[in-house]
Every structure is written in C-alpha cells, then in structure tokens.
C-alpha cells in the first residue's frame, strides 16, 4: 500500500518580501517566526499515504469532531537544518528522527510513515524555504508532526491522519557562554510511568508536564526535573530535555532508556564523550544520591540536552524547601567541551567521523 508518494508543489504566492524576512531573521527567539511553506501528507485506512503537498503555510480546516481534539492522537519531532561554515545546508541525523517518529506512531496506534517519505518531506521544506536559514549561529528548526483528523467520537485509533512539516528560523539558544539554569525537582507530578507513553514524542506528554513546569516557574526555577512515577526516587529527565551528571572520577552518568524520551542529542553526546575517552554509564541515579554527591563534592557538573537548547548547564537545584548548587554554579569544562564538540560537527567546523550530517542537495 505504501507505494511511492508523489509530491505536488504549489509555491506560495504570498511569500514574505525579502526585506521583511531579513528584519524577522534579525530578531529571532524560539518558535515565533515561521517560513512561507508547509508540507502536508494524508493517510487514510485502505488508501495509505497519499496527497502529498508542498504549499503555502496556512491554517488547517478541522472538523470539530476530529479525533485529535478529543483523544490527543498526536506525535511530533524536533530537528534542525544548519548552514555549515562551508556553505552547505545539512540536517543532523534525520534518519534517527524518522525512526523515532515511527516508534512514537506505533505507541499511539497511528500509521507508520516510511523513513524515505519522512526524509523527503523534511528535505523538500528545507529546500523551498532555504532563504529562511539564518546566517551565523542560528538554524532552521523543523517540526514534523501527525494528528488524527477523522471526524468520529468513538474511542479507537482513527482511520484518517494528516502528517505535516513546518519550519521556524531560530537564533542561538545561548549567546556566547550559556548561563546555567536552575531546576525544580517535583515530588508531586510524574511525566511518565512504565507502560505509558514516556518514550513516545507525543503532545500529551507535554500537556501532562505543563503544570509541573508552571510550578517550577512559580518557585523561581527555569525547568522542572521529573522523578520516576513508582518510587519518586530515580531521576528521569526534564520536561523536554535529557540529563547528564559529570562525576569527579570523570565518569558521565545518565538515566537509562525506558520511560524517558530517547533523545538524539543524548545518544550523540554519549558517543562524543566515549570518543573523547570518557566513561559513560547509563544507569539509574537517585535524587538522594544527586544531593549527597553534590554535597560531598563528588558531582562536578550537571547538564540537560536536547535539539532546541543543545546543551544547557544546570547550576542550581531546588527541591521542596531545600536548595543546593552544582560545583561553583558556573558552566563546567566537560559541559563546555561536549557542547563545542557537538556544535562543531553540526556547523561543519569539526570533522564528522560518525557520518551524522545529511547534506541537502
């Protein structure tokens, strides 16, 4: 059924004029500015993937009974296109995003999109909107997503879906040296449980995490850290980033896969750390141990990581009425080294020994 899907391309007739685009690109935050086009592909039971379009970015027409609006059958990806120092446009490990999208779809009982179709869709959007790639430190954030748009209120996997890709030029998350963030460790809320959707990139996980993130902000913190749902003991991850601990021995510790989201940044940093001769252990790490290791000086650095922020150093930790700092509360050398190694590959200023860059012709 999944025969080759042909894209129809309808270039926008309402493109943002170049001077306006230049002004927008001059003042980028995260996820506020969007490019001229979008890609959309439909799926229907019995038909498979069909009606693939590259066209002007515009609102969807959704039936009020669309399943996604009621039962949240929705998944997404987050990836970036970079302009390398050599002037080419590259994606970073996009096959990993395609595969994770398939795994998320399987968990949410949604159709599996072939890897080639996912990559084709993403590349087409980058190509038609390449003028939106910021110069310098910025990048083009790509957001592939899929939702159930069958108009039906019965509870079962929908039989109609829309896959879409939109793009948003983003600035450097950190200008120069990144300032360490403060995290709030919640005892009250869980992000994911065994058998749940923690490893799937679905909007519902975020919906469930927002109240804890709001609590973190209320407590004067930047981000929330979730513990495991069963014991409220083991560190899992932040609302949208994985976490690493750098021990005095030089060993890196990061929570194992299972209920956490398998971050591509996480996997890449594990590989880069091992390339640099560091020992990396994927093992459960308790909040109690975190606090004790920080107090005893055995824990030197902590950082969060994900596509959007790349690497975000964690300087301070709040839990209930207690607070503690990591080292001096400043960015540590291992955090800096790993961030530079990863960004260096993405921007083409360092060799790419693992073949992670995918050049867009």
Ligand X SMILES: *Cc1c(COP(=O)(O)O)cnc(C)c1O
CB 225 within 8 A of CB 219: no
Tell me if 201 contacts ligand X by CB under 6 A: yes
| Interacting residue with ligand X among 240, 313, 315, 332 (CB under 6 A) | 240
Residue 282: in which H helix or E strand, if any? strand 280-282
Which residues are CB-neighbours of 88 under 8 A, at least 6 positions away?
348, 359, 360
Would the CA dihedral through 324, 245, 230, 73 be positive or negative? Answer: positive
Q: Least distance in Å: CB of 76 to ligand X?
A: 8
Q: Least distance in Å: CB of 142 to ligand X?
A: 11
Please, what is the end-to-end C-alpha distance for the chain in angstroms?
Answer: 29
Q: Least distance in Å: CB of 265 to ligand X?
A: 3
| Interacting residue with ligand X among 134, 138, 169, 306 (CB under 6 A) | 306
Q: Least distance in Å: CB of 205 to ligand X?
A: 6
| Interacting residue with ligand X among 5, 52, 216, 261 (CB under 6 A) | 261
Tell me if 237 contacts ligand X by CB under 6 A: yes
Tell me if 236 contacts ligand X by CB under 6 A: no
Which residues are CB-neighbours of 337 under 8 A, at least 6 positions away?
276
Write the interaction track for ligand X spanning residues 72-111; mark x where CB under 6 A is met and - where it is not.
------x---------------------------------
Task: Specify the residue for token string 């890897």.
Answer: 115
CB 167 within 8 A of CB 73: no
SS3 141: strand
Q: Least distance in Å: CB of 237 to ligand X?
A: 5
**Piece of the chain touching ligand X by CB under 6 A; list 28-36, 261-269, 327-335, 346-354:** 261-269
Tell me if 315 contacts ligand X by CB under 6 A: no
Tell me if 312 contacts ligand X by CB under 6 A: no
Tell me if 316 contacts ligand X by CB under 6 A: no
DSSP state of 130: G
Which is nearer to ligand X, 128 or 192 (by Cβ)?
Answer: 192
What is the full DSSP assignment across 203-268? HHHHHHHHHHHHHHHHTT-SEEEEEPTTTS-BEEEESS-EEEEEETTS-EEEPPSSSS---HHHHH
What residues make contact with ligand X under the rule CB under 6 A?
78, 201, 237, 240-242, 261, 263-266, 306-307
């Amino acid at each position: 059924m999944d025969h080759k899907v042909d894209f129809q391309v309808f270039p926008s007739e309402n493109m943002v004029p170049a001077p306006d685009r230049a002004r927008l690109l001059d003042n980028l935050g995260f996820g506020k500015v969007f490019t001229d086009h979008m890609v959309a592909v439909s799926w229907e039971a019995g038909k498979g993937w069909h009606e693939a379009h590259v066209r002007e970015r515009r609102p969807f027409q959704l039936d009020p009974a669309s399943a996604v609006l009621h039962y949240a059958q929705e998944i997404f990806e987050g990836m970036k296109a970079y302009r390398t120092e050599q002037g080419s446009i590259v994606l970073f490990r996009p096959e990993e995003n395609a595969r994770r999208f398939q795994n998320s779809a399987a968990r949410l009982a949604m159709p599996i999109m072939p890897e080639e179709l996912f990559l084709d869709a993403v590349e087409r959007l980058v190509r038609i909107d390449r003028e939106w790639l910021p110069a310098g430190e910025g990048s083009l954030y790509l957001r592939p997503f899929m939702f159930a748009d069958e108009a039906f209120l019965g509870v079962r996997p929908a039989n109609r879906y829309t896959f879409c890709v939109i793009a948003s030029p983003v600035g450097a998350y950190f200008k120069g040296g990144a300032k360490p963030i403060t995290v709030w460790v919640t005892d009250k809320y869980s992000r994911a449980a065994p058998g749940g959707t923690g490893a799937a990139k679905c909007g519902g996980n975020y919906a469930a995490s927002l109240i804890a993130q709001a609590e973190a902000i209320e407590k004067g913190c930047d981000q929330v850290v979730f513990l495991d749902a069963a014991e409220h003991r083991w560190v899992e991850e932040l609302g949208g980033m994985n976490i690493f601990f750098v021990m005095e021995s030089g060993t890196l510790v990061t929570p194992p896969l299972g209920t956490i989201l398998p971050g591509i940044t996480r996997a890449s940093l594990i590989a880069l750390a091992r390339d640099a001769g560091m020992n990396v252990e994927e093992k459960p790490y308790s909040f109690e141990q975190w606090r004790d290791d920080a107090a005893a000086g055995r824990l030197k650095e902590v950082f969060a990581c994900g596509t959007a922020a790349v690497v975000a150093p964690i300087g301070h930790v709040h839990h209930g009425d207690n607070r503690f700092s990591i080292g001096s509360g400043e960015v540590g050398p291992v955090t800096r080294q790993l961030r530079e190694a990863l960004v260096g590959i993405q921007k083409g200023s360092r060799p790419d020994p693992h073949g992670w860059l995918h050049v867009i012709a």
